[in-house]
Amino acid sequence: MSPPSSSPVVLQLHGITKRFGPLVANDSISLTLHRGEIVALLGENGAGKSTLMSILFGHYVADEGEITVRGQPLPPGQPRASLAAGIGMVHQHFALADNLSVLDNIIVGSESLLRLQSAKRQARAKLVEVARQFGLVVDPDARVGSLSVGERQRVEILKALYRGAKILILDEPTAVLTPQESEALFATLSQMVAQGLSIIFISHKLGEVLRVADRVAVLRHGKLVAEAPTAGSTQAQLAQWMVGEAVSLPERQPAAQVGGEVCSLRHVHTTASAKSTARDRLVDVSLVLKAGELVAIAGVSGNGQVALADMLCGMRRPGQGTVQYLGAPMPASAVALVAQGVARIPEDRHGTGVVGDLPVWENAVSERLRSPWFSRWGWVRRAQARSQAQHVSRQFDVRGGGLDAPARSLSGGNMQKLILGRALLAPQGAEGVAPRLIVAHQPTWGLDIGAVRFVHQQLLAARDAGAAVLLISDDLDEVLALGDRIGVMHEGHLSPVLPFADWSRETIGLAMAGSPMTAPVHQR
């Protein structure tokens, strides 16, 4: 990586400030990008990285500050203007239309709306040429909905390159890729830099940043707190900038005493149906969960984790195979599961975890509403329900507009705490009845470091109290920090679930990509 600070400046951000109500998402940020340079924008969730890039790309308008591209000021708030200035963005959640072809997705908006006919032939030829130039392979006439995740990302990238982008913004591009696919992406980035492009790379993964970028800019709570060349920086240094205090990587807390079997899956297959995709299925999955143990399942999202979680949360039945809970077939209804001590933490807190329009107190007891604790003969026992909601709120420090505020008004962290409290706390008067099985699906996604710590504490505490904990997470650091035993999902298959000591980052990465397991490597 050559230090290109001598090459011309292609982009300059000056004093960019953006507020959303009382929240200051970006606070007077200034940044410079040189030609042929890769700058990483590092920060936690909510630090302001995506907002800043959205301003650059014209999705938002900054309240203060200006942007110049190669010396020319950039008209704010218009993606058209940003595109014309040569800025391209590869979004984290791909901005693609599934029902249209690759070619259509790429050329939309590139021709004047007044043209009487679209120049498809020329467009196709140009696309093929650009793809070849950067080593990206796609079929222009394929329907986007039928492509794999990696291919869809390639289309996203080509969208920008086709429009002649010279400055490329990549927003958490490796979030949905296996370690090996990420390597392929990094190779593409090198190609681009060699052709004179400049890249801004948003990430919260420290190792990646050090590997790929020439310089790193760290955002924290909307402010730019540090800027440095990556050569000579360490992960610890970056982590400290990101979080603002000396961060010691948390100590592992291995399980003290592992008890008997609480839950098991044996040779489980999901039923094939027209709607289920290859990613939403389970193929011959066997798993045993024991009391007092935390099993962590790693893997890139979309490889069957949803099916696995659904099966243990009462949302789906196996097509073949058995799921046992406490020695009997697992009940299929959510209500029965909760009554028998299964604590469920769903992946999507807004869309599945709470009913946003309903008040906090109703959400706090929603799972147990049908039980005698909170209802009688079809009528809700209001006083008891509100009292339990108060109890959950206090114990789990849920802050917001009060019990009667709609649940969607809670911040992500508080909403997650509400969901945790609801799942882990028994109804008042039934203390001593702790959950036996905890199914946590991406429980710390999008949370700040304080909330993440809290969630981890709760999961470990429940484990030490004797529950069997299943953690499904695409965050490898989390998996390695918490898992007593670890397994990896890939395309519906579950790898052998081995003790923590039998894995290394490399072997997990290989398993995530579907490589057959080689002999376990004892390595730290």
Partner 1 sequence: MSDVMDILANASFWVAVLRTATPLLLGTLGVLLCERAGVLNLGIEGIMVAGAFTGWLTVYAGHGLWTGVLVAALTGAVLGSLHAWLTVGLALSQHVSGLGITMLATALSYYGYRVSFPKVNTPPTITPFEAMDWLPIPILGDQTALTLLALLLVPLLAWVLFRTPLGLAVRMVGENPQAAEGQGVAVMAVRSGAIIAGSALMGVAGAFLTLSAFNAFFFNMVNGRGWICVALVVFASWRPGKALLGALLFAFFDALQLRLQQSGDGLVPYQFYLMLPYLLSILALVLVARKAAYPQALMKPYRKGER
Partner 2 sequence: MRIEKRATPSKLAMVAAPLGAVVFTLAISGLLVLWAGAPVGATYLALFKGAFGSLFALSETLTRAVPLILTGLAAAVAFRARLFNIGAEGQLYAGAVAAVAVGGMHGGTGFELPIYLLFPLMLLAAALAGAALLLGPALMKTKLGVDEVVTTLLLNFVMLLAVSYLLDGPMKDPMAMGWPQSVALQGDLELGKLIAQTRLHNGLLIAVGLAVALWLLLQRAVPGFDIRAAGANPRAAAFAGVPVTRTVVLVALLSGGLAGLAGAIEVAGRTSYLTLDMSPGYGYSGIVIAMLAGLHPLGVVASAVFVAGMLVGADSMSRAVGVPNAIADVIVAASLLSVLVASLMTQYRLRRK
Among 10, 13, 16, 107, binds partner 1 (CB under 8 A): 107
Query: Per rule CB under 8 A, is residue 57 in the interface with partner 1?
Result: yes
Burial class (CB in 10 A: 0-12, 13-18, 19+), 251: exposed
Q: Among residues 79 and 400, whose Cβ is nearest to partner 1?
A: 79
Q: From the list partner 1, partner 2, none, which binds 194 (C-beta under 5 to 8 Å, kind-based)?
A: none
Report how far residue 401's alpha carbon sits from residue 409's, in angstroms, rounded to the nearest whole number.
7
Q: From the list partner 1, partner 2, none, which binds 149 (C-beta under 5 to 8 Å, kind-based)?
A: none
452, 454, 458, 460 alpha-carbon torsion, rounded to 10°: 60
Q: How many residues bind partner 1 (CB under 8 A)?
A: 32
Report how far residue 67's alpha carbon sits from residue 53's, in angstroms, rounded to the nearest whole number.
11
Among 6, 21, 22, 112, binds partner 1 (CB under 8 A): 112
Do 407 and 418 form a contact (C-beta atoms < 8 A)? yes
| Long-range pairs for 460-464: beta carbons < 8 A, 24 or more residues apart | 460/253, 460/294, 462/343, 462/424, 462/434, 462/435, 462/438, 463/255, 463/292, 463/293, 463/294, 463/438, 464/255, 464/256, 464/292
Q: Among residues 95 and 430, whose Cβ is nearest to partner 1?
A: 95
- Binding to partner 2, residues 284-313 (CB under 8 A): 313
Closest distance between partner 1 and the C-beta of residue 115, in Å? 5
Q: How many residues bind partner 2 (CB under 8 A)?
A: 32
Closest distance between partner 2 and the C-beta of residue 332, in Å? 11
- Binding to partner 1, residues 127-146 (CB under 8 A): none
| 83 Cβ contact partners less than 8 Å away, ≥ 6 residues apart | 109, 163, 165
- Region binding partner 1 by CB under 8 A among candidate stretches 115-123, 293-301, 325-333, 503-511: 115-123
Report how far residue 231's alpha carbon sits from residue 517's, in angstroms, rounded to the nearest whole number.
34
Sheet holding 215-220, edge to edge: 87-90, 167-171, 198-203, 38-42, 215-220, 223-229
Query: Per rule CB under 8 A, is residue 250 in the interface with partner 2?
Result: no
Among 3, 164, 329, 351, binds partner 2 (CB under 8 A): 351
3-class DSSP string for 90-152: ECCCCCCCCCCEHHHHHHCCCCCCCCCCCCHHHHHHHHHHHHHHHCCCCCCCCEHHHCCHHHH
Report how far residue 331's alpha carbon sits from residue 323's, in angstroms, rounded to the nearest whole number.
9
Query: Per rule CB under 8 A, is residue 478 in the interface with partner 2?
Result: no
Closest CA to 202 of 176, 174, 226: 174
Going by their DSSP bridges, the two strands 72-73 and 64-69 should be labelled as antiparallel
Among 120, 382, 399, 453, binds partner 2 (CB under 8 A): 382
Among 28, 68, 110, 286, binds partner 1 (CB under 8 A): 110
Query: Per rule CB under 8 A, is residue 372 in the interface with partner 2?
Result: no
- Region binding partner 2 by CB under 8 A among candidate stretches 201-209, 255-263, 300-308, 398-406: 398-406
Q: Dig out the tokens for 345 from the structure.
A: 């933490």
Residue found by looking up tokens 């099985």 in the block? 437
Q: From the list partner 1, partner 2, none, which binds 382 (C-beta under 5 to 8 Å, kind-based)?
A: partner 2
Written as one letter, the residue type at 313 is C
Do 206 and 239 form a contact (C-beta atoms < 8 A)? yes
Query: Per rule CB under 8 A, is residue 353 in the interface with partner 2?
Result: yes
Written as one letter, the residue type at 194 is A
Query: Per rule CB under 8 A, is residue 24 in the interface with partner 2?
Result: no
Q: From the list partner 2, partner 1, none, which binds 54 (C-beta under 5 to 8 Å, kind-based)?
A: partner 1
Among 6, 72, 117, 248, binds partner 1 (CB under 8 A): 117
Residue found by looking up tokens 């429980």 in the block? 443
Going by their DSSP bridges, the two strands 485-490 and 498-499 should be labelled as antiparallel
Closest distance between partner 2 and the C-beta of residue 454, in Å? 22
Closest distance between partner 1 and the C-beta of residue 503, in Å? 36
Query: Per rule CB under 8 A, is residue 18 in the interface with partner 1?
Result: no
Among 80, 132, 252, 350, binds partner 1 (CB under 8 A): 80
Residues in contact with partner 2 by the rule CB under 8 A = 21, 313-315, 333-335, 338, 344, 346, 351-358, 362, 366-367, 369-370, 375, 378-380, 382, 401, 405-406, 409
Residues in contact with partner 1 by the rule CB under 8 A = 54, 57, 59-60, 78-80, 83, 89, 91, 93, 95-100, 104-105, 107-118, 159
